[in-house]
Structure 1
Amino acid sequence: MRFPLGEMTVGDILDRGLKLLFARLPAFYALYLFMLAPVILLQLVIPFLLEAMINDLNAAGAGQGGAAFDPTNLILFFAVYMLAMVLTIVLVTIGNAAVLHIIMEEYQGNRVGVGSALGYALGRFFPLLGVSLLFGLMVGVGILFCCVPGFYLLATYMFVTQVVVLERRGVGEALTRSAELADGYRWRVLGVYLLVTLVSGFAQGFVVQVLGFVLPGQEMIPGPGGRMQIKVNVVNSIINTVVGNLVSIVFSAYLAVCVTLLYLDLRIRKEGFDLELAALRGEEGEFDPPPRRRRPRDEDDDYDDDDRPRRRRDEDDDYDDDRGRR
């Protein structure tokens, strides 16, 4: 897929992001599903642990047979939950890098497969993981301080992932480079990011809420003595988990595409990166240097007889010295 080169408006970024998302959606899905499979499997265990933990709480609260609450299931629940979070950070980091490689290659007019993109991502895993953790920590701490510092840091270091993956730079260089690109455009960067995040979050939340209403994962039922107790529906919880992850993949990929297009737009505005992209594409037209003008014949000076084009001998007119003097 080839897009017109040049600066992009916000509408261009959103529109091209959708086109690129749907053009490579199978590849994005394959990458994220492959990377998130261990996380999804762990999440499927959580409803069973939650059911056991709530049953223990209900039994302890009802005082059945003097039963006391057993914290084992609670400990297992939080252990699995934390392990799922850590795996998500690690595996999504690799998936994001692979997706960024696909996006960049598509914008250059090249098409790469899932295996090639995954191999490229693994080569940048450690610097990408380091910069992702540092970026999340800085923004998270900044959000705690009245949100303003967090939004400033978010807009300033928005492109650290793109710099590490696409420009193959280290953690420190990525932070400096992202700040340089965002300088003078922080409001635009933050606006595009919040717009895509809010719209995606609203759409994703709507799907999850509707699904939870149709297939509730938990419900209140009357217990012993007329007390209301929580009952976990394991089947519904598993369905909600699987569908929620499938929906999340679409919006996560779209956000990655839009942020990468915004990164390319800033490079085009500040560095003339469209000329480099045109050269990589091998395109002709307005990006080609203007042709050299041929100088008029009478301006040709300083070349000797050997450099002059020779006329064919049979075309040489026979004229004598007298003619030549006339």
Structure 2
Amino acid sequence: MKNRLYPMGPGAILDNTFFILRDRFWKFQGVIFLSYLPVIIISLLLFILFVPTLMNATDIFTGLELGEEAISSFFTSMGGYFVVLFLSLMVAFIIGSIYMTGGVIKLFATGLEGEECGVRQALAVVKGKRWRFIGVFFSLLLLGSAVQILLGLIFNELLDTGAELYSLVSNLVGMALMFLFSLSPVVLFLEDKKTFATLRRAFTLMAGHRWRLAGTYLLVILLAYIIILILYALAILPAVLFIVLGTRYDLIAFYIIGGLLSIAAILLFNVLFLVYQHGPLTCIYYDLLIRKEGYDLSRRMTGQTPASPAPGIPGAPEPRPDGPDGRGLES
């Protein structure tokens, strides 16, 4: 697999993202499965414990409205083990999301560099960075909350404007903050930086290219989601057909087949959504390194991180011009 590192326009970002998605499809599935394996196990335990408890608790609801008394009696009958498992499920989901994000970004990065990468090797990038990821997440959450509170004071107390204007400005500012720090997970897993250094690096790396990247990212996301929705519609169509046949001929087999196909289509959509969103960000990250810092493959020979200055390069060279199709010139 040859490296795909060159200055990338929207066409090249889409091309590289979908190429790597196709080339490493099963590796992405392996990353998702291993990341969320504890979630699957705990969910099965909850299901096994929940169903018998629910069956035994049906008498609680007999002759009663579904009010607070019935709900309280139901959860009391399930015992404390349900609470423990539920909390464990939440923790496992958070940790699984961290591993999934890091593993997917690593697969995209090695795909762009033309390297082979196994599932466990991709997941290994998360080692030692779990707390940093949580720190970055909560730092951005606190920043967003502080900005929302400030906007609320300005629009509701000082300007006394309507809720519609405040809601519009609040959403726009939230989207702007998400974009300005969107490279944070990529920087976190591909560079060895602490929490605040990661945020600073993600913010400053876009300097001088923010307007170009804003248009590129918006266009890439819209085009890709349209493609994914088309694929999802094609996948869900057979399921709808079998359900309609089941309704027409009153056959349970058609309902079962339609249900299984619906579940498969939903899983396919979720997998594409979970994996895809990190592809364009990884491409943009490498595009910025190439344009601003003269990134090339020679730094890997010396074991340097992507952000380290390449040996023998005194400064950032002029980027190679994009080709007529927007993909640039491959080396």
Describe how 1:13-52 pairs up with structure 2 within 5 A: 13-44=13-44, 49=50
Aligned-partner Cα distance in 2 for 1:136–1:172 = 13
| Pairwise CA distance, 1:158 | 0.4
8 A Cα contact 2:13 2:283, kept in partner: yes
Deviations 1:270-322 (A, max 9, x none): 2232xx2366489xxxxx99xxxxxxxxxxxxxxxxxxxxxxxxxxxxxxxxx
Spell out, residue by residue over 1:156-202, the C-alpha distance to the aligned partner (whole angstroms, 9 max, x if none): 11011111111111110111111112334252365157426744774
> What is the aligned counterpart of 1:178 among 202, 224, 238?
202
Alignment partners' CA distance in 1, 2:140 and 2:12: 27
SS of the residue corresponding to residue 29 of structure 1 reads helix
Q: Secondary structure at the match of 1:147?
A: helix
Is 1:134 matched up with 2:135? no
Distance 1:137 1:265 in 2: 29
Counting only pairs closer than 5 Å after superposition, residues 4-153 of structure 1 correspond to structure 2 as 4-44=4-44, 49=50, 60=61, 62-63=63-64, 68-69=70-71, 70-72=73-75, 83-136=88-141, 138-139=143-144, 146-153=170-177
Cα pair distance change 1:114/1:143, threshold 3 Å: farther
- How far apart, in 1, do the equivalents of 2:81 and 2:231 lie? 29
Cα 1:140–1:52 change in 2 (3 A) is farther
Equivalent-residue separation in structure 2 for 1:12 and 1:115 (angstroms): 28
Evaluate the alpha carbon distance shift between residue 164 and residue 55 of structure 1 in structure 2; reply closer, same or farther with a 3 A threshold: same
Change (3 A) 1:192 1:40: farther
Structure 1 Cα separation of the partners of residues 54 and 148 of structure 2: 33
Q: Supply the distance in 1 between the matched residues of 2:36 and 2:231 (Cα, whole angstroms).
A: 18
Q: TM-score, normalised by structure 2?
A: 0.62
Work out the CA distance in 2 between the residues paired with 1:206 and 1:75.
Answer: 42
1:261 and 2:283 correspond: yes
Question: Are 1:191 and 2:202 matched, yes or no?
Answer: no
Report the count of equivalent residues. Answer: 264
How far apart are the structure 1 equivalents of 2:125 and 2:46? 33
Structure 2: gaps (5+ residues): 150-166, 244-257, 303-311, 314-331
Distance in 1 between residues matched to 2:29 and 2:81, nearest whole Å:
30
Q: TM-score, normalised by structure 1?
A: 0.62
Evaluate the alpha carbon distance shift between residue 170 and residue 55 of structure 1 in structure 2; reply closer, same or farther with a 3 A threshold: same
Q: Cα deviations across residues 117-176 of structure 1 (Å, max 9, x unaligned)? A: 222322333322322343355457768962122111101110111111111111101111
Preserved contact between residue 156 and residue 179 of structure 1 (Cα < 8 Å):
yes
Is the deviation greater in 196-205 or in 115-124? Answer: 196-205
Does 1 or 2 have the higher relative contact order (CA < 8 Å, sep 6+)? 2
SS at match of 2:277: helix
Q: Name the % identity.
A: 20
Does structure 2 conserve the Cα–Cα contact (< 8 Å) formed by 1:151 and 1:190?
A: no
RMSD of the TM alignment (CA)?
A: 4.5
1:251 matched residue in structure 2: 273
- Give the whole-Å Cα distance in 1 for the aligned partners of 2:186 and 2:136: 11
Deviates more, 1:69-78 or 1:247-256: 69-78
Contact 1:108-1:280 at 8 Å conserved across structures: no
SS at match of 2:193: coil
Give the secondary structure class of the aligned counterpart of 2:192.
coil
- Answer yes or no: is 1:277 the counterpart of 2:297: yes
